Structure 1
Amino acid sequence: MSSVKSPIRYPELGSTTVMTKRGWWLVVLNFVVPGSAQVLAGNRRLGRFGLGATLTLWTLALLLGVAYLLWPAAVFTIFTSTVGLWAAGAVLVFYAVIWAILTLDTIRLVRLVKAAPRARPFIAGFAAVLMILVSGTAAYGAYVATTTSGFLSSVFVAGPTEPPVDGRYNILLLGGDAGPDRDGLRPDSISVVSIDAETGQATMIGLPRDLESFPFSAGPLADLYPEGYGAIDGCEVDVCQLNSVYTEVEVKSPEMYPDAESQGSEPGIEGMRDAAQGITGLTIQYFVLIDMQGFSDLIDALGGVDIDVQSRVPVHSDDTFTDVAFWFEPGMQHMDGYHALWFARSRHGTSDYDRMNRQHQLQEAILAQANPANVISKFEAVAKAGTQVVKTDIPQGMLGYFVNLASKTKTLPINAVNLTPDSGIDPTDPDFDQILQMIGTALTPPPTESPAP
């Protein structure tokens, strides 16, 4: 009784046409189910190992997908932790090596010399392209994972997490403007972002930098200025305004906050936190300080930003903010970092409150456009710029939670409360009861209507 032997496992029996088809089939099988080519035509032990690795990867991907649907915050936490990122990097390196070995072995099994001469370079080239695509992608993923670990460790602190207060996380957002003519950094943009810990609804409270006579929350500055900042005998710097607090504390009296640096902060930032808490009545768990001078690098790394310009804004030819090089005309404008920074800082013919609105507009545009695909595709440049631009005391252990919360925030409109003359607040003589009422109204959700009986 005779048996028919398959040309897949016994290539010496096949014709040139059969061997050409066999070569294409083995290359495709190796791509679709790595390890299957070896089980069918080569070293079955290697094939079973490859199949086992492939099935394990599919199972892990399935479990990860289910976990993401059910517990997205937990998945984000794993992949924003040092251990999780290095583990992901190790797994990706393992699969990059395995797929390269299996592909090279598949090319050997193809027996190119038995395929049609014209088909040989195409079969070999196709296999090589697939190997570079799959193994190269895995290797790059490992690089991104390990580099991300270093980036996150350099920006975010290792410290205890803070619970929400009254169901909200409140973050002090400072745009630092350190110029050569300034004695220390002086925040140019000051906001408190209040985020609902469940829904992700965000409210941005804009604090004018020239606010005066404001109270502080309990602490050394409240003891020094019980009637408000500079309200009685002035202050330790030339102008007693909100953005002067950083300079006064950081340059003149850093001993007020002796534990600031050990907790990942700075004395000046802690002074600004106490000021923002006194003004808004909110407990501020974390801060984010953005260096406006380096901000342009981050925008360039992201490929620019699209801004809907509401009215003509000048771009200046120098740092005097007087000579105009050209104007941004109303309408959608794509800006690189240099021009986006001018858009946010331009002073010619505009007020501080106009600048405040433009800075908030720029912040919202970047948040909307910094999607994962954009960040990953330009990751190296983004990471390099980010370490130079951002300082924060948000602990790395909270990143997963905040990433998940941010995914909800991006789907909702951002509420705005700007404490400016347009909203009835005089920065030189502010009514803080009115400010607290405005903030309370913005943060209190409207009552749900009861269904009609």
Structure 2
Amino acid sequence: MSERTAASSASPDGTAADGVADRAARVRFRRAITLMGFTLIAPGSAQLIAGNRRVGRIALRIWAVLWLAGLLMLVISLLDHKLALRLAFNSDLLLLLRLGLFAGAIGWAALFMDAWRIGQPLSLRMPHRRAAVGVNGLLCFGVAGSLLFGAHLVGVQRDLAIALFGDGQVTDAHHGRYNVLLLGGDSGAGRWGLRPDSMTVASIDEVTGKTVLIGLPRNMENFPFREGSVMAEQFPDGFDCDGCYLNGVSTWAGDHPDLFGDSDDPGVDATIMAIEGVTGLSINYWAMVNLDGFRELVNAIGGVTLNIRQPIPVGGLGSDVTGYIQPGVRKLTGYETLWYARAREGSDDYSRMARQKCVLNAFLHQVSPEAALTNFEALAKAATGVFSTNLPSSEVGTFLELALKARSQKVATVSLVPPRINTADPDIDLVRSMVSDAIERSEGTAPAPTTKKNKKKVDQPVTGGSLGTRDTGYAANESDDLASAC
């Protein structure tokens, strides 16, 4: 009886033995895949279970520290946005993070390879061995590739932080406001600060972020400089030389750099002295945009939407005009946006100033954090070539937070142009009164001016693509709500 039982349990073809071998093979395969899965979830756990425990403990401790650091950064971001933004633009911290991502990619890939070794791949059957190799390769290259791509993005962010932000001195708000001079300059080597094409002061409430844009015409003459400044000493009666305009201050200073000591940019410094003399405001920081490179910035965010009131000529003056941007609410490319802001055919300087303010307003309200993140790499690449400032990186958190606040509020504007201001012989007392009144209305400490409302907006004149005329004033040059004027 026992002999028959033994015979029946071991068939001639060895089926039972093969079944045991199959189960053992599946167990080994599951074990190999499990070790890789553990390495994905908790790097070092595979080594702690079946390999070099010392390596496993070190890897797990590093993993735990990184999780704690990540949670700490999340808490900081939720509790103190300003500090989080400051850290995000700290070049030293970004360099450390980048090196850490490189090391993490190499170390994690090594742990995957070791987990594959621990899984004894040579003991697996060929189909299982191939599957294990495939899974390990997918995990190894997927995780390492993600970390290396993250290191690339951190590098882009670091390059952006270094290229964008200067080493200017940190300054406090003046009477509760930060005043930032925005300059639009022509392109070309060595042309930063050479005859800025547009000059606007953004006066920003240090608490609410509510902003007033103060536009200064490039053709202003006979204006004073800030008292006690180098330029005031050279021109005690104002900038009254023959053919001397506000946008020529930069060129004059560039021809006399010895007057400005160790200044890195005499042209910008002299222009600030002029702006402060005209407006009575103290400028905290300045930022310059290369206008020809500006189109790349617009393209990087996918374009901006503007209300085109009249056909806007493209290509220059007269016979140089190559086409038109047609009327309507349109999303413009960078090239079209640049010509919308700079077109001169059929326009005057003051209608151009109005259109430029509409572009600034569109940028503020249309470039959302989501759009910036989605187009981060292209935006960073474009910005490094077109933007320059003396804003120290330590202040970036403050201004990004103010920009986010400003997005939800109306932007006010006032421009020192005709018909209220004679640019050839400006009334500086009136200029400063206009500036202070606009700021007070923005802060809600002064009533809005009483004006007669037009019954039909469509009947309002449009000149050079801007609502209004030179003689009556352009709506976007003086408004408590720039969006409605655009």
Same fold (TM over 0.5): yes
Structure 1 position 70, deviation (Å): 2.3
Q: Does 1:432 align with 2:441?
A: no
Q: Is the 8 A contact 1:312 1:327 kept in 2?
A: no
- Tell me the amino acid that sits aligned with residue 299 of structure 1: V
Q: Does 1:259 align with 2:259?
A: no
- Quick one: which of 391, 396, 400 aligns to 1:399? 396
1:273-352 correspondence runs (5 A) = 273-300=272-299, 302-317=300-315, 319-320=316-317, 322-352=319-349
- Tell me the amino acid that sits aligned with residue 412 of structure 1: Q
Q: Is the 8 A contact 1:188 1:243 kept in 2?
A: yes
Question: Cα deviation per residue 1:101-153 (whole Å; 9 max; x = unaligned)?
Answer: 22223334455677787676566445434433432232233333345434433
With over 3 angstroms needed to count, the CA separation of the structure-2 counterparts of 1:117 and 1:91, relative to structure 1, is same
Question: Cα deviation per residue 1:255-282 (whole Å; 9 max; x = unaligned)?
Answer: 3323322xxxx22211210111122211
Q: Does 1:443 align with 2:447?
A: no
Partner secondary structure for residue 269 of structure 2: helix
Unpaired runs of at least 5, structure 1:
1-11, 449-453
With over 3 angstroms needed to count, the CA separation of the structure-2 counterparts of 1:160 and 1:178, relative to structure 1, is closer
Partner secondary structure for residue 166 of structure 2: coil
Corresponding residue of 2:464: none
Corresponding residue of 1:247: 251
With over 3 angstroms needed to count, the CA separation of the structure-2 counterparts of 1:406 and 1:104, relative to structure 1, is farther
How many equivalent residue pairs? 421
1:119-134 correspondence runs (5 A) = 124-134=133-143
Q: Is the 8 A contact 2:306 2:362 kept in 1?
A: no
Q: Does 1:69 align with 2:86?
A: no
State how far apart, in whole Å, the 2-side matches of 1:112 and 1:332 are.
64
Unpaired runs of at least 5, structure 2:
1-20, 447-486
Corresponding residue of 2:4: none
State how far apart, in whole Å, the 2-side matches of 1:131 and 1:409 are.
45
Identity among equivalent positions (%) equals: 34
Question: Cα deviation per residue 1:315-350 (whole Å; 9 max; x = unaligned)?
Answer: 434x44654323222344343333322221111222
Q: Is the 8 A contact 1:187 1:243 kept in 2?
A: yes
Question: Cα deviation per residue 1:144-188 (whole Å; 9 max; x = unaligned)?
Answer: 3345434433443334311221122111111012589x9x82111
With over 3 angstroms needed to count, the CA separation of the structure-2 counterparts of 1:407 and 1:15, relative to structure 1, is farther
Q: Is the 8 A contact 1:315 1:339 kept in 2?
A: no
Corresponding residue of 1:102: 111
With over 3 angstroms needed to count, the CA separation of the structure-2 counterparts of 1:414 and 1:108, relative to structure 1, is farther
1:208-219 correspondence runs (5 A) = 208-218=217-227, 219=229
Between 1:350-359 and 1:271-280, the stretch displaced more is 350-359
1:364-443 correspondence runs (5 A) = 364-368=361-365, 370=367, 381-421=378-418, 424-443=420-439
State how far apart, in whole Å, the 1-side matches of 2:363 and 2:169 are.
28
Partner secondary structure for residue 197 of structure 2: strand
Q: Is the 8 A contact 2:166 2:392 kept in 1?
A: yes
Question: Cα deviation per residue 1:194-231 (whole Å; 9 max; x = unaligned)?
Answer: 1222222222211122233322211233334444332x
State how far apart, in whole Å, the 2-side matches of 1:63 and 1:344 are.
44
1:54-203 correspondence runs (5 A) = 54-110=63-119, 124-177=133-186, 185-203=194-212
With over 3 angstroms needed to count, the CA separation of the structure-2 counterparts of 1:310 and 1:299, relative to structure 1, is closer
Question: Cα deviation per residue 1:373-417 (whole Å; 9 max; x = unaligned)?
Answer: 655665555444434322222223323333333333334333322
Partner secondary structure for residue 309 of structure 2: coil
Question: Cα deviation per residue 1:405-430 (whole Å; 9 max; x = unaligned)?
Answer: 333333433332233347x4443454
State how far apart, in whole Å, the 1-side matches of 2:218 and 2:326 are.
27
With over 3 angstroms needed to count, the CA separation of the structure-2 counterparts of 1:224 and 1:13, relative to structure 1, is same
Q: Does 1:30 align with 2:44?
A: no
Q: Is the 8 A contact 1:314 1:324 kept in 2?
A: no
With over 3 angstroms needed to count, the CA separation of the structure-2 counterparts of 1:100 and 1:187, relative to structure 1, is same
Q: Is the 8 A contact 1:294 1:388 kept in 2?
A: yes
State how far apart, in whole Å, the 2-side matches of 1:20 and 1:271 are.
74
State how far apart, in whole Å, the 2-side matches of 1:17 and 1:283 are.
76
With over 3 angstroms needed to count, the CA separation of the structure-2 counterparts of 1:267 and 1:321, relative to structure 1, is farther
Between 1:29-38 and 1:83-92, the stretch displaced more is 29-38
Corresponding residue of 1:39: 48
State how far apart, in whole Å, the 1-side matches of 2:34 and 2:169 are.
55
Structure 1 position 242, deviation (Å): 1.9
Relative to the length of structure 2, the TM-score reads 0.75
Partner secondary structure for residue 429 of structure 2: helix
With over 3 angstroms needed to count, the CA separation of the structure-2 counterparts of 1:32 and 1:162, relative to structure 1, is same
Corresponding residue of 1:355: 352
Structure 1 position 86, deviation (Å): 1.6
Between 1:58-67 and 1:340-349, the stretch displaced more is 340-349
Relative to the length of structure 1, the TM-score reads 0.80
Q: Is the 8 A contact 1:169 1:285 kept in 2?
A: yes
With over 3 angstroms needed to count, the CA separation of the structure-2 counterparts of 1:388 and 1:358, relative to structure 1, is same
With over 3 angstroms needed to count, the CA separation of the structure-2 counterparts of 1:173 and 1:49, relative to structure 1, is same
Question: Cα deviation per residue 1:272-308 (whole Å; 9 max; x = unaligned)?
Answer: 10111122211002111212122233334x1542222
